[in-house]
Amino acid sequence: MAEVYERIRWNVANGVVTATLDRPAKRNALDARTVAELTDAVLTFGGDDDARVMVLRGNGPDFCAGADLDQLEHIAATSDPLTNLDDAMALGRLFIRMRRTDKPIVAAVHGHAIAGGAGLATACDLIIASESARFGYPEVHLGFVPAMVAALLRRSLGEKRIFELITLGGRFTAQEAHAMGLVARVVPDAEFDSAVAGFAAELAARSASAVRLCKRLLYGIDGLAFEDAIARAAEINVIARATPDCQAGVRRFIEKSGE
């Protein structure tokens, strides 16, 4: 579907897929079309054997301002509860697809990542942010709840920190997001594009099978009892040992050690 995207710009180079939200006039707000295209983009990325890393960006001054409120108001006012549920679950299915895709997705956040936009970044496996980026989950100010985003945050941060973020609804800096463990790296604005490219290239240069198994392991043990998590880890260990990358890597190490 990449060739008919209306809301996303799509580029592939050296194993890195860059999907750029392209609604700058709407600050890349998430309407139904954008969510559908993003879901398809993640599916396309997951099925491309040559693609190792996806970078998710925003065109214009912001990463993503959240849900398209015009559409949200219309659906809430004119639709029955089941239609509203279907609309909400469309975003939920995108988040699930991002988590189930066993290749890394990196959010490159500049400007504002607010409400659903912050949720979209949180749904990625890693976030790299420009120094001036701002985040926030301000839905409470509209009498709304960042419900699905909370499911993501609960797996990233402590519950008391999350309670503060979603009930006060304040905005916070990239440095604060890094300090709480939400953002992996913060880079100066002037170096942002080159830093994102370098970060993605570094990740793409790692063993593709090992990176995929790391993601499968990390999310596969989520919520398991300790004994079950160890058993799952042992299964992944066995799978990793059988991969050509692992066998070649062990062989290189042994040969180097014997020099």
Summarize pLDDT for 98-140 with one digit per residue, the tens: 999 999 999 999 999 999 999 999 999 999 999 999 999 999 9
pLDDT of residue 114: 95
Task: State yes or no: pLDDT of 75 exceeds 70.
Answer: no
Q: Are 131 and 224 in contact (CB under 8 A)?
A: no
Mean pLDDT on 139-167: 92
* Between 168 and 4, residue with greater pLDDT: 168
- Mean pLDDT throughout 88-93? 87
Write the DSSP string, 115-146: THHHHHHHHSSEEEEETT-EEE--GGGGT---
Mean pLDDT (the chain) is 92
Catalytic, out of 6, 139, 159, 202: 139
SS3 (DSSP) at 5: coil
Q: What pLDDT is recorded for position 74?
A: 57
Q: Is the pLDDT at 18 greater than 80, yes or no?
A: yes
With pLDDT > 90 as the criterion, what percentage of the chain qualifies? Answer: 81
pLDDT of residue 67: 77
Q: Is 139 marked active-site?
A: yes
On the question of pLDDT at 47 being above 60, the answer is yes
- Residue 87 has a pLDDT of 72
What is the rounded CA–CA span in Å between residue 30 and residue 34? 6
Choose between 242 and 85: higher pLDDT: 242
pLDDT grade, residue 70 (50/70/90)? low
pLDDT bucket at 1, cuts 50 / 70 / 90: very low
Count the Cβ atoms, other than its own, within 10 Å of residue 128.
26
Confidence band, pLDDT 50/70/90 cuts, at residue 240: very high
What CATH number has the domain spanning 2-204? 3.90.226.10
Kindly state the average pLDDT of the residues 3-25: 93
* H or E element at residue 244: helix 244-257
What is the pLDDT, as a whole number, of residue 86? Answer: 78
| pLDDT at residue 37, rounded to an integer | 96
